[in-house]
Amino acid sequence: MDESWKKAKGVFAALGAPPVLWLLAFFLVPLAIIWGYSFGENKSLTEIAVDGTFRNYLHAVRPLYLGIILKSFWFAALTTLFCLVVGFPVAIAITFASDKAKSWLLLLIMLPFWTNLLIRTYALMAVLRTEGYINFTLAFLWNGVSHLTALFGHPLGPFQPLELLHNNFAVVFGLVYVQLPFMVLPLYAALDRLDRSLLEASLDLGAGHFTTFRRVVVPLAMPGIVSGILVTLIPSVGAYLTPDLLGGPSSQMIANVIERQFKTANDWPFGAALSFLLMYMTFLAIAVQAIVSRNRRGRER
Amino acid sequence: MAAPKTIIRFENVSKRYGKVLAVDDVSLSIDEGEFFALLGPSGCGKTTLLRMLAGFETPSEGRILIDGEDISRTPPNKRPVNMVFQSYAVFPHMTVADNVAYGLKVDGVPGAERARRVEEALGLVKLDGYGARKPDQLSGGQRQRVALARALVKRPRVLLLDEPLSALDAKLREAMRSELAQLQEKVGVTFLFVTHDQDEALAMASRCAVMNRGLLQQVATPSDLYEFPNSRFVADFIGSVNLFEGRLEVDEHDHAVVVSPELPTRIYLDHGVTGAHESTVWVALRPEKIELHKRGQGREPPVLEDTPGGHNVVPGIIRQIAYLGSESVYDVAVEGGRTVKTLRSNLTRRDQEDFTWDEPVWLAWHACSPAVLLS
């Protein structure tokens, strides 16, 4: 059946052509145009001449922009690390939950996707700002303790709200919040495939839970860990909305700079060059990862 | 020879899952050096019992002792038992040697001794030279050997085997039976295995416990289970059997007679039955213990020297023949509508031609052949 399906080239073409054309017309062509712009320069307000210049790229690797790119990678790496640390126990909990609880927990993980990112980010602002829920709760507790200590003649003094918003902390916090489901789902998928008797065998052979986790669970869940890291890291590097709304002036990421080139600065060629610089770096990271994993697999053979 | 020492003792162990009683008040002792089988149909609680011994389940009631020490609440990694899992559970990301070394490594056995013991264990299961291979380069049988070596290298007090042969193909299963028995003799470790396959249990075990619906039905040697079952369940579960319901008509110390409405003859037994007179009993008769004789053309019924006339002989007609090579199974319809299974070994190459379809025959059995069951 599937053999003849492959041989029926007409059917294959009919089914395959629409998505291919779609991707070609609305993804690859615009991407190629932007790529072309990255080698061009502004002639007038609306005219760009693609003259093969590398000026934009030279501009982009100046310390100012390179610093922002590096910071973007640093934020993304921190985000990925926190997602991994927070997500692994969550994924384990879902894996070992009862079948009924499992579907509810998975629903909870996916629930944020049903709300627009913008709304979720504003909600996070309401939580983090100086008059937000966290500071409100802290102030309440502070005042309570203060009343108590006042009884012994040592009041704590007025509460100083924590500055949780518009700084680097807020950006990484927001990114972890947004990216966490993308880490949990591949981890869960990998853990769920794991044969439970392997864990029992490890315990049976005298290993404790931590040793079992380190020697059996982590190595066997490695494909899930790697894909979780990739799908968390890559979108985090290019995150735009979160640093824009939650970040302060010094916590801008590369996507915010790119946005400014296309909008306020009206320097499309430079914006294009920055975009593609980011893309080259991401491709490079994925290629290195692929080569490393292929070499490792090759050695195991 | 010194009296065997009890190594495992289950004391009134029960296991409840919500409302379901998976193991129901089981008390059982297993001696050092035994090759013990837990036998029963799926869902009878035998695996739960094994997993409670390994530490993956905790008894709801009762105690489990190993060498006299209560281990009911000891975590699995602190128990002197090791398990061979049904799926073998060989770590796919480790080499064979690393798999076997795993338990020694977590115990902190030093490198040189570890290597020596791994080598020794691999030799024991005939996997010398396979140490560097990965599990995906091994056959199912070889993976099982890795699981065996990995468990035995820890020198457990008891080796637990969960359906050890169920994942192997028929030929290999047969070979593995005797090999497991030899291995057990060689290492001298107590083996406790779970199986639903009665042939497997009879062939390998020195003693079996038959379980049904969480209850221990009978604990006996394989031959006692087969020849002296204590219930209809055991008689029916172990091997093939003809069961006749009847009344105990005579019950003397040296003989007994059972009348069954399902048979046109009275059943004579050469031993007394400790049952109430006129109570309902069941007679279990194994197919191979029933003789087949020619009938018709004025032939007289066969005479049984240990049985008074008019007992243990039934006329019938052959309805079905299953030729199995080494033996043939005949379904004989007797008066009253019952079909009785009898088995005849094909001792020569012409034996299967002796009887044919729809042939009138006499069925006869000796007074010592039937077993009387009270439940």
DSSP B72-119: TTS-GGGSSEEEE-TT----TTS-HHHHHHHHHHHTT--HHHHHHHHH
Residues of chain B neighbouring A206 (CB-CB closer than 8 A): 77-78, 103, 106-107, 154
Domain assignment present for B1: no
Which residue in B has a C-alpha nearest to residue A300's C-alpha? B134
Mean pLDDT of A124-150: 89
Q: What is the pLDDT of residues A5-57, one digit of tens each?
A: 667 788 888 888 999 999 999 999 999 999 999 999 888 888 888 888 899 99
Q: Which of B17, B11, B20 is nearest to B61 (CA)?
A: B11
* pLDDT class of A299 with cuts at 50, 70, 90: low
B102:A203 CB<8 A? no
- Please tell me whether residues B147 and B284 are part of one structural domain: no
- Please tell me whether residues B314 and B275 are part of one structural domain: yes
Find where tokens 């980010």 sit.
Answer: A121
Which of residues B170, B202, B234 is at a domain's end?
A: B234
A201:B85 CB<8 A? yes
Is the CA virtual torsion B352, B355, B356, B357 positive or negative?
negative
Domain assignment present for B242: no
- Please tell me whether residues B70 and B11 are part of one structural domain: yes
Mean pLDDT of B44-64: 94
- Please tell me whether residues B230 and B291 are part of one structural domain: no
- Please tell me whether residues B102 and B202 are part of one structural domain: yes
Tokens of A42: 């502004």
Q: Are B59 and B13 in contact (CB under 8 A)?
A: yes
Residue A289 confidence (pLDDT): 80
This complex has an ipTM of: 0.84
Domain assignment present for B241: no
B93:A220 CB<8 A? yes
Residue B255 confidence (pLDDT): 87
* pLDDT class of A188 with cuts at 50, 70, 90: very high
Q: Tell me the pairing of strands B291-294 and B339-345.
A: unpaired
Note the helical H segments in A42-163: 55-60, 63-96, 99-110, 117-128, 133-151
Dihedral through CA A185, CA A256, CA A45, CA A34, nearest 10?
Answer: -30
Q: Are B184 and B215 in contact (CB under 8 A)?
A: no
- Please tell me whether residues B127 and B195 are part of one structural domain: yes
Which of residues B182, B206, B234 is at a domain's end?
A: B234
Mean pLDDT of A117-130: 91
A195:B89 CB<8 A? yes
Give me the residues paired with residue A234 across strands. none
- Please tell me whether residues B336 and B216 are part of one structural domain: no
Q: What is the pLDDT of residues B27-50, one digit of tens each?
A: 999 999 999 999 999 989 999 999
Mean pLDDT of A185-210: 94
Distance from CA of A234 to the nearest CA of B (A): 28
Residues of chain B neighbouring A201 (CB-CB closer than 8 A): 83, 85, 89, 91, 147, 150
- Please tell me whether residues B40 and B123 are part of one structural domain: yes
What gap in Å lies between CA A122 and CA A126, rounded to an integer?
Answer: 6
Q: What is the pLDDT of residues A232-285, one digit of tens each?
A: 999 999 999 999 999 988 889 999 999 999 999 889 999 999 999 988 988 888
A100-108 contacts at long range (C-beta below 8 A, 24 or more positions apart): A106/A188
Which domain range does residue B267 map to?
Answer: 248-373
Which of residues B179, B212, B234 is at a domain's end?
A: B234
A205:B85 CB<8 A? no
- Please tell me whether residues B169 and B278 are part of one structural domain: no
Residue A65 confidence (pLDDT): 92
B106:A205 CB<8 A? yes
A204:B77 CB<8 A? yes
Q: What is the CATH number of the domain that holds B69?
A: 3.40.50.300
Domain assignment present for B171: yes
Residue B157 confidence (pLDDT): 93
Q: Is the pLDDT of residue A301 over 60?
A: no
Mean pLDDT of B316-328: 92
Is the CA virtual torsion B235, B236, B241, B242 positive or negative?
positive
Residues of chain B neighbouring A208 (CB-CB closer than 8 A): 77, 106
- Please tell me whether residues B42 and B106 are part of one structural domain: yes
Residues of chain B neighbouring A202 (CB-CB closer than 8 A): 91, 102
Chain B interface, best mutation among A100, A195, A200, A205, by max B CB count within 10 A: A205
What gap in Å lies between CA B229 and CA B244, rounded to an integer?
Answer: 15
* pLDDT class of A76 with cuts at 50, 70, 90: very high
- Please tell me whether residues B90 and B144 are part of one structural domain: yes
Q: How many domains does chain B have?
A: 2
User: How close are the terminal C-alpha atoms of chain B, in Å?
Assistant: 37
Q: Is the pLDDT of residue A155 over 80?
A: no
Domains of chain A: 65-129+164-300 (1.10.3720.10)
Residue B248, CA distances (Å) to B51, B136, B279, B306, B363 in order: 43, 61, 6, 20, 22
* pLDDT class of B165 with cuts at 50, 70, 90: confident
Q: What is the CATH number of the domain that holds B346?
A: 2.40.50.140
- Please tell me whether residues B255 and B336 are part of one structural domain: yes
